[in-house]
Amino acid sequence: MTILKTTLTGAAALTLTAGFAAAECADPVKIGVLHSLSGTMAISETTLKDTMVMLVDQQNAKGGVLGCEIEAVVVDPASDWPLFAEKARELLTVSEVDVIFGSWTSVSRKSALPVLEELNGLMFYPVQYEGEESSKNVFYTGAAPNQQAIPAVDYFLEELGVEKFALLGTDYVYPRTTNNILESYLQDNGIAADDIFVNYTPFGQSDWATIVADVVALGEDGKQVGVISTINGDANIGFYKELAAAGISADDIPVVAFSVGEEELSGLDTSNLVGHLAAWNYFQSAESDANTDFIAAWKEFAGAERVTNDPMEAHYIGFNMWVNAVEAAGTTDVDAVRTAMYGQEFPNLTGGTAVMLPNHHLAKPVLIGEITAEGQFDIISQTTEVPGDAWTDYLPDSAVLKSDWKELGCGMYNTATNTCVQLTSNY
C-alpha cells in the first residue's frame, strides 16, 4: 500500500501542496483492474480494462491523487469464476492495491466478495446486476433491477403492448435472480404464469434454433410476444444471428437486452437487428458536452473504430468519485474512503448528475435505446435520475429490507423487526 495512508483528514490534508505530497509518496497509489481479457466474457470486459487504463492516464496527467502517481495493476481472471477470488486476493495481498475496479458477471463478483470482506478490500462493480446484495466492501455503479429491468418491462407493457414474455438468460445468478423478480412483477401486472416462458443456456451457447422456435411458438395464439434478454457474453452473437435466420424482426418479436451494448454490436451484422432494444443508463448516442469529450478521448486512446458503452460510463463515474473521495479523506485507507464516498456527486455522460447513495448504489437515469443499422442506439426513452435499490420491492423477503451503510451501518436492515441481519459473503 502507499505511504500516503496517513491519518491526515479533511482540511488539513487538503492543504498539502502537490509537490509536498509527491515527496511523501514513496510508492504509487495502486488500483487493481479485475476484468477478463480471455474466455467467453473477453468480448465485454477487455474494453473495461482499457477504460481503466485510460482513466488512470488522464488522472496522472492532472497530477494523480494526493500528489501521487496512480498505477493500474491489471490481472486476467480469464472468465473463470473461481479465479476472480484468487486474483482479488493477489491484488490485495501481493500487489497491495488500494482499490479494485472490476468484474462483469455476478458470479464473478460473488466469487471475489468473500475475499474483499475478509481483507477489507474495496471494489467498484460497473455492470447492471440482480440486486439482492449490499456489501460494505462493494460500490455498485451499474444498474439495479429498478434502474433497468423493471423500466424495460414497463416499456414493453405500456408502449409495445406485449402480452407474452420470453425471459431468456445465461445460466448464472444474475439472469436467474432478475427473472425471479420479473416473473413476480409481471404476474402482479396481470400477466398469467402460462404466458411467461423462461429459458437458461450455458455461457458460450451457440445453437439457438430450438429456443428461437420455442419463442416463435409462444405467439401462435396471436398474442404479442416480447423477449427480455439477460444473455451474456459471446452467446449474444449466435442468438441474434438465429433471430435473423428465422426472419424475426423487431416488429414481429421485439427483444430488449440488458447485456448488449455498443461493444457487443460492433461484432455483429446489425442490418437485421434494427428496432430491437436495449435498456441501459448510458448510450454513446447521448447528447451532452461531457459525452462528446469522453468519446473523443476514448477514440484518441483506443482507436477511431472503438465505441463507448454503459459499463464504461459506470467506471468513469466510479473512478472519479473514488479520486474525489480519496482527496476529501486525505488518504487511500478503505474505511476513510468509504465514509467519504457517501453523497459524492459527479456529472454523468447523459447530462445529469450521478449521486452515491448510503446503500452503495448510484442514482442514475434509465434509457431505452433502439438498435440502428450503424450499430448504435437511438434513445427513445429517458428518465430523470432513479435511486438504485439494493433490495427489490417485488420479492416478499426483500421488500422489508433496507441498506444504509452511512447511518445504520447495515446492508440488510429489516424494517419490520428493526434489526440488522448480518450476512457477510453470500446473501
Shared-domain flag, residues 268 and 123: no
Q: Is residue 396 part of a domain?
A: no
What confidence score (pLDDT) does residue 296 get?
98
Query: Are 121 and 34 in a shared domain?
Result: yes
Q: Which residue has the cell 510508492?
A: 27
- Give residue 24's pLDDT: 64
Q: What is the pLDDT of residue 216?
A: 96
d(CA 280, CA 258): 7
Asked if residue 420 is part of any domain, the answer here is no
Name the grid cell of 416.
419490520
CB 169 within 8 Å of CB 140: no
Is 244 within a domain? yes
> What's the CATH code of the domain at 243?
3.40.50.2300
Give the span between the Cα atoms of 340 and 342, in whole angstroms. Answer: 6
Answer yes or no: do 380 and 234 share one domain. Answer: yes
| Below-50 pLDDT ranges, the chain | 1, 3-23, 424-427
pLDDT (0 to 100) of residue 361: 98
pLDDT at residue 208 in the model: 97
- Separation CA 226–CA 229 (nearest Å): 10
Are 166 and 238 within one domain? yes
pLDDT recorded at residue 14: 35
Q: Are residues 203 and 333 in the same domain?
A: no
* 227-251 pLDDT, tens digit each: 999 998 888 889 998 998 999 999 9
Do 241 and 99 belong to one domain? no
Same domain flag for 86 and 231: no
User: Which domain does 112 fall in, by range?
Assistant: 10-143+287-363
What CA–CA distances, in Å, run from 390 to 138, 315, 317, 413?
Answer: 12, 19, 19, 11
Q: How far apart are the C-alpha atoms of 402 and 138, rounded to whole Å?
A: 16
What domain count does the chain have?
2
Backbone angles phi, psi at 274, to 5 degrees: -55, 130
Q: Which residue matches cell numbers 419463442? A: 215
Within a domain: 98 = yes
